[in-house]
A and B are shown apart, each in its own frame.
Chain A
Amino acid sequence: MRTKQILLILPLLLALLLLQSALWVPTYGSQAAQNSGRLQTFIEPRLSDFKLLNPALNSDATTAEMMDRRIYDRLLEADEKLDVVPCLAESWTVTEEAYVAVRPERRLPDGTPVSGESLRAAIDAALRGPLSDLSSKLRAVELAPPGERTRRETALQQMAGGKSESISATVRVRLPERLRLRLDTVEPQLFERLEPVFGQGYFSSIDVKGRIEIDPPAAAPAFESKLDELFAVGEHNPIVTFKLRPGVRFHDGHPFTARDVRFTYQAILDPKNASPRTSSYEAIERIDVPDDLTARVVYKKLNSTSLLDWAMMGMLPEHLLNREALEREMKARQIPAAQREKFSIRDSSFNRSPIGTGRFKFVKHVPDQYTVLERNDDYWGEKPRYQRIISRVIPDRLAQELELHAGSVDRYEAEPHQAARLRTDPNLQVVSRGEGYYMYVAYNLRRPPFDDVRVRRALSMAVNVDDIIDYVLFGEGKRASGPYFSNTPFHDPETPLQPYDPARALALLEEVGYRKNAQGFLEKDGKPFEFTLISNAGNPQRKAVVTIVQEAWRRLGVRCTTQLFEFPVFLEQFVHVRNFDAFVLGWIGADITPDRRQIWHSSQGGNYKLNFTGYASPEADALIDKILLEYDRNEQIALARKLHRRIAEDVPYTFLYEPSRPYALDARIAIDAPELGPGRFLPITTTPSGEIDYFFPRWFTRADPAAVAE
């Protein structure tokens, strides 16, 4: 019967067809043998796809890893010890222009009325006397005529119902006649030192309202608190002058010039582009381009960390993204006229086929699957050994491990328990990366009893962090003592760690007034000590920490319930609106800057800002402000260490640990070291800054598997 035969034979054929394909699939060992290009290709997995390959529009970690030092170069770079070194900029100088408004209503200490000329004479006299140390630094003192200054500014406006909205306005300031002082270095104390020369109170704030015009006027109330920033008697204008490396070309052959630097800055500030980096660059007044290889960045005010922003931002090609280029693209893509007005860099196809000056050229991107980069053979610096990078999206670590075993990725970031097992695999090497990440428990200092430092200290002492590191992290981590990462110079090695001491924790709580009740739980005035500890779902380590901390506190007698929320919900409904008792989270981050204003300054405690706990310490505020004004690196480090210690002592967070993130790599990957002799290589190790791929350009895969055993 034919039907019967068909019914039997078809499924059998189907099964055979499917199963025989297994015979042709390349396995780990045979991959390199079958196609020689494999050894020249570096394949790495990512948990999720990146968004836009444009450093002006994205600042998330996934995208940054793809862009940094690969597609784009930055003006400056942090080296393996986290010192700032040249990259696209060959050298740079930091100078200053300081402005002092002429206040004709005042008199100088000797009685002469204030005018431009009299101020100048006073300075000249002082340079021969008390300010003699400045005489070598002060290049010129000039008189700037009155004028008008127009800036685009944003402020936060409080709306009804506790919500706040960002509002931008054009701010016009009528400037009086001013004295311009050109200095070879930045002098943060300049005005304090000039004050005795010009008379007490010369630099105290004046009523600026009459000089300022805000458009639209409705925005004016939002700027009420910022008036001092809009105009002051003494204004510092630090200037960073970059000398660019000559002969650098973009991947399309177009030379890289200072105009690209200026364009990158303009692209970030253009409100149409909705760049997340705006806040870092708003401090810039303008960028001058005296010639092709000089970029002169003029800042509105003192900020000693702003130089570091140039070590975090890739340079965009102006000729591909300026208005004419966008017009061309709109014409080519036949964008309807109605949408042309809105069309911005954000809409450009450039973000999916980026062009930079980096070591690797972008080739292809298949959304949520993979991205291919090809070596840039015209690179100005050291050329990478790998011909190609393929970055694959593999959304789960277990799958990444399987792919590593199958030879279809070359490395991945392993979970600690995976790393512990993979260390014994002769085909693999495991290297731990140690930079910038710490885990913490944050307390809401606005709510009792967390407003009492003894309570926070007691809760911290009840948690055995060493055990967490030993057993949950399998030893892959070290304790965190405060807000600066231990791989940076700002970390204070003297700051003591909170000891694990449940007995003292209990004693501290008893000191506050808590007593154990019949059920063994702590009570104060008949009210039990109970609260909710929350965190985000989807992070196994955080979940483990939540469980361990909860159990540790329960043994102390604290009734703590826990809840995990999906990340956006966790932020929107709890963290950002300060609706929490305590939560577990991690900071990942900017190692090179000592600026911690956004997280610890008392002014950042409002909803949606990053000082979640509401930590407010006048001493810490002063230190944070001082760091931004301190241009001497050693002084800056000393201040940062003080801040580290101050915050650690106040325990707004229980600082838990800094995980070292283990990476499993193919054992054949090594660092090429021709300077040690022909064919010599070095093993992959962690740099003092904690990175493992700092030397990535010199990485290569050794062909002979015999060397693996070595």
Chain B
Amino acid sequence: MWRYLGRTIVERLLLLVLISIVSHAVVHLAPGSPAEVDSLNPMMKAEDVLKIRKSFHLDEPLHVQYWYWLSDLFSGELRSFRDNQPVLPRIWDRFLNSLPLFAATTLIVWGLSFPLGIAAAIRRGSRFDRATTFLAYTLISVPGFFLSYVVILGMSRTFDLPILGNRTIGVEGASAFVQVMDRLWHLVTPALMSAMTGIAILSRYVRTQMLEVIGEDYVRTARAKGLPEDEVVYGHALRNALLPFVTMFGFLLPGMIGGSVIFEQIFAWPGLGRLGYEAVLGRDFPTILTLNFFAAVLTLVGVLISDLLYALVDPRIRLS
């Protein structure tokens, strides 16, 4: 077990270095320079543009730039091209902003998918099953931003409620309770919208798993023993059907960066996804690279966690 752990961690660290080199090359080889080089400013001479390029080391060979980035990253002195502010604290801030949205989305997805999936599995072939099936496919197929804007269109036409950002600016004078509720309300729509695809996929998956398990012999035996149907379904079948979902927890992590770009952009949510989007737009190389790096870390950690969890819950699997 420990040997396995040690080996995978070393392996993954190597992978990480490889990934960071590749992404560094991709970002730097592509055309376009950072937005700080505001070269359309009539007050700025060509000399000035070149001077600023130099101060960002943009004209040095790639491996030297990579070294600058890496050493700055680990000394905590990495600074954004855009405003010269340290990158790491900013990523941490944004991470804290993204966290509630991510948590709410995850809660909604997991909270709704199980009842829906189980109900569909039990009533297989019924009208309910067919309706949820079709609904699930529709939700998988609908572009997230399209649905969000349809909701925004409906909401803002009917109620004049604020739905953008993570809180209403201007309620600082109100009571603490109102402020908490205000934050909670701002979570609702974006969390619901970003949960849609997740609900659809997960509830379908729950349904399939339940169907597989319900067909197994031990469930038939339980049923034959005359146990109440609920006991059979929720006690025996569900417990066994849950197994594969444990591994999915690990895969949730990386979604924090990539999966949220669109919704954070639509709902003006100041999270990691939007940070990444703005960094890409502004060619803020240090921020792009560091975000990519952390996304890779999250993925690797996620895979590791899911491997470990799987080994923990399924005694048949031995890590070797």
Please state if B268 and A399 are interface contacts (CB–CB under 8 Å). yes
Q: Which residues of A contact B32 (CB under 8 A)?
A: 566, 568-569, 572-573
* Bound Cα distance from A11 to B265, whole angstroms: 27
Residues of B within 8 A of A608 (CB): 39, 46, 49-50
Q: Which residue of A lies closest to B59 (CB)?
A: A165
CB A169 to nearest CB in B, in angstroms, measures 12
B90 A3 Cβ-Cβ under 8 A: no
B62-78 vs A: 1/0 string, CB under 8 Å? 00000000000000010
CA of A405 to CA of B157, assembled, Å: 10
B270 contacts A369, C-beta separation under 8 Å: yes
User: Which residues in chain B, 143-192, are within 8 Å of chain A measured between CB atoms?
Assistant: 152, 156, 159-165, 168-174, 177-178, 181-182, 184-185, 187-188, 191
Interface check B33, CB cutoff 8 A: yes
Q: Mark B199-235, 1 if CB is under 8 A from A, else 0.
A: 0000000000000000000000000000010110111
Chain A residues positioned under 8 Å from B163 (CB to CB): 402, 406
In the complex, A368→B166 CA distance in Å? 12
Interface string of A146-182 (1 = CB under 8 A from B): 0000000011100000001110000000000000000
| Residue in B50, B111, B230 whose beta carbon sits within 8 Å of that of A166 in the complex | B50
**B36 in the interface (beta carbon within 8 A):** yes
Residue of A3, A26, A156, A606 near B171 (CB, 8 A) is A26
A26 and B168 form a contact (CB under 8 A): yes
Nearest A residue (CB) for B89: A367
- A279-B177 Cα distance, complex, nearest whole Å: 54
| B38 interfacial contact with A, CB 8 Å | yes
Is B84 in the interface zone, CB < 8 Å from A?
yes
Instruction: Give the residues in chain A near B270, CB-CB below 8 Å.
Output: 366, 368-369, 393
Chain A contacts with B in 396-447, Cβ cutoff 8 A = 396, 399, 402-403, 405-409
Q: Is the CB of B85 within 8 A of A352?
A: yes
A-B pair count, CB < 8 Å, reads 237
Q: Which residue of B lies closest to A1 (CB)?
A: B230
Number of chain B residues close to chain A: CB under 8 A: 80
Interface residues of B in 1-57 (CB under 8 A from A): 31-36, 38-52, 54-55
Minimum CB distance partner of A4 in chain B: B234
The one of A1, A154, A370 that contacts B234, using a Cβ cutoff of 8 Å:
A1
Output the residue of B83, B94, B274 with the most chain A CB within 10 A.
Answer: B83
Interchain CB contact under 8 A, B48 and A339: no
* CB 8 Å contact bits of A8-30 with B (1 = contact, 0 = none): 10110010011101111111110
Q: Within 8 Å of chain A (Cβ to Cβ): is B310?
A: no
A346 touches B111 (CB 8 A): no
**Is residue B263 within 8 Å, beta carbon to beta carbon, of the partner chain?**
no
Chain A residue, CB-CB nearest to B185:
A21
Instruction: Say what secondary structure dominates the interface of chain A.
Output: mixed
In contact, B168 and A14 (Cβ under 8 angstroms):
no
A24 touches which of B41, B84, B178 (Cβ 8 Å): B178
Cα(A571)–Cα(B191), bound, Å: 38
B278 at the interface (CB under 8 A from A): yes
Shortest C-beta distance, B104 to chain A (Å), equals 8
Cβ–Cβ < 8 Å partners of B135 in chain A: none
With a cutoff of 8 Å between Cβ atoms, the chain B residues found around residue A19 in the complex are: 188
B168–A367 touching, CB < 8 Å: no
B47 near A279: Cβ-Cβ < 8 Å: yes
Cα separation A405 to B55 with both chains bound (whole Å): 44
Tell whether, in the assembled complex, residue B46 and residue A402 are in contact, meaning their CB atoms are under 8 Å apart: no
Q: A1-60: which have CB < 8 Å to B?
A: 1, 3-4, 7-8, 10-11, 14, 17-19, 21-29, 31, 34-38, 41, 43, 48-52, 59-60
A399 x B164 contact (CB < 8 A): yes
Stretch from A240-248, A269-277, A320-328 forming part of the interface with B? A269-277
- A576 CB within 8 Å of chain B: yes
- B164–A403 touching, CB < 8 Å: yes
Complexed CA–CA distance, A150 and B296 (Å): 53
Q: Which residues of A contact B184 (CB under 8 A)?
A: 17-18, 21
| Residue of A23, A43, A346, A405 touching B169 (CB-CB under 8 A) | A43
**Which residues on the B side are within 8 Å of A165 (C-beta)?**
50
Q: Which residue of B lies closest to A576 (CB)?
A: B39
Bound-state CA distance A7–B162 (Å) is: 31
Do B33 and A11 touch across chains, with their CB atoms under 8 A apart?
A: no
A598 to chain B: closest residue by CB: B42
Could you tell me if A599 and B42 are in contact, using CB atoms closer than 8 angstroms?
Answer: yes
**Is A122's CB within 8 Å of the partner chain B?**
no
Q: Mark A84-118, 1 if CB is under 8 A from B, else 0.
A: 00000000000000000000000000000000000
A25 touching B161, Cβ below 8 Å: yes
Q: Is the CB of B231 within 8 A of A31?
A: no
* B238 interface contact, C-beta 8 A: yes
CA distance A412 to B172 in the complex (A): 21
Bound complex: CA of A17 vs CA of B107, how far in Å?
A: 12
- Asked, given contacts A7-B114, A166-B48, A166-B50, whether A24 binds B274 with beta carbons under 8 Å apart, the answer is no
Residue of B nearest to A573 (CB): B31
- The reply to whether A571 and B39 contact each other, CB–CB distance below 8 Å, is yes
Chain B residue numbers with a CB within 8 Å of A37 are: 172-173
Q: Are A34 and B234 within 8 A (Cβ)?
A: no
* B160 touching A572, Cβ below 8 Å: no
Would you give the 0/1 interface string for A560-588, flagging 1 where the beta carbon is closer than 8 Å to chain B?
Answer: 00000010110111001000000000010
**Once bound together, how far apart are the Cα atoms of A167 and B156, in whole Å?**
56
Question: Please, which residues of chain B bring their CB within 8 A of the CB of A51?
Answer: 36, 82-84
Q: Are B84 and A351 in contact (CB under 8 A)?
A: yes
Whole-angstrom distance between the alpha carbons of A576 and B178 in the complex? 53
CB of A59 within 8 A of CB of B164, answer no
In angstroms, Cα B43 to Cα A568, docked, is 18
Hey, which chain A residues are within 8 Å of B114, CB to CB?
A: 7
Q: Are B275 and A14 in contact (CB under 8 A)?
A: no
Which chain B residues border A25 with CB–CB below 8 Å? 161-162, 168, 181-182, 185
Check: A394 CB closer than 8 A to any chain B CB.
Answer: yes
Contact with B along A321-356 (1 / 0, CB 8 A): 000000000000000000100000011000110000
Judged by a CB distance under 8 angstroms, whether B255 is at the interface is: no
Contact with B along A303-321 (1 / 0, CB 8 A): 0000000000000000000
Q: Is B246 part of the contact surface with A, judged by Cβ < 8 Å?
A: no
Q: Which residues does chain A contribute within 8 Å of B94, judged by CB atoms?
A: 368
Report the minimum CB–CB distance from A668 to chain B (whole Å). Answer: 14
Q: B171 near A34 (CB under 8 angstroms)?
A: yes
What are the residues of chain B within 8 A of A369 when measuring CB–CB? 165, 270
Query: In the assembly, what is the distance between CA of A590 and CA of B1, in Å?
Result: 69
A279 touches B156 (CB 8 A): no
Q: How far is the CA of A394 from the CA of B163 in the complex (A)?
A: 12
Q: For the complex, is A609 an interface residue (Cβ under 8 Å from B)? A: yes
Name the CB-closest residue of B to A18: B188
* Contact indicator per residue, chain A 589-612, by CB within 8 Å of chain B (1) or not (0): 110000000110000001111100
Is the CB–CB distance between B173 and A36 below 8 Å?
A: yes
Q: How far is A19 from B82 in the complex, measured between Cα atoms in Å?
A: 39
Across-interface contacts of A52 in B (CB, < 8 A): 83-84
Shortest Cβ gap from A653 to chain B (Å): 15
Report if A464 contacts B (CB, 8 A).
Answer: no
Interface presence of B288 (CB below 8 A) = no
Name 20 extra pairs, CB < 8 A, besides A18-B184, A43-B170.
Answer: A1-B235, A11-B111, A14-B107, A18-B191, A21-B181, A24-B185, A26-B174, A31-B171, A51-B82, A164-B50, A278-B48, A279-B47, A368-B94, A370-B169, A394-B165, A405-B160, A406-B163, A407-B160, A598-B45, A608-B50
Interchain residue pairs with CB less than 8 A apart (8): A27-B161, A35-B174, A59-B41, A276-B48, A279-B47, A368-B275, A393-B270, A407-B160
| B contact set with A: CB distance below 8 Å | 31-36, 38-52, 54-55, 77, 82-85, 90, 93-94, 104, 107-108, 111-112, 114-115, 118, 152, 156, 159-165, 168-174, 177-178, 181-182, 184-185, 187-188, 191, 228, 230-231, 233-235, 238, 265-266, 268, 270, 274-275, 278, 281, 283
Q: State the A residues within 8 Å of B (CB).
A: 1, 3-4, 7-8, 10-11, 14, 17-19, 21-29, 31, 34-38, 41, 43, 48-52, 59-60, 154-156, 164-166, 271, 274-280, 339, 346-347, 351-352, 366-370, 390, 392-396, 399, 402-403, 405-409, 566, 568-569, 571-573, 576, 587, 589-590, 598-599, 606-610
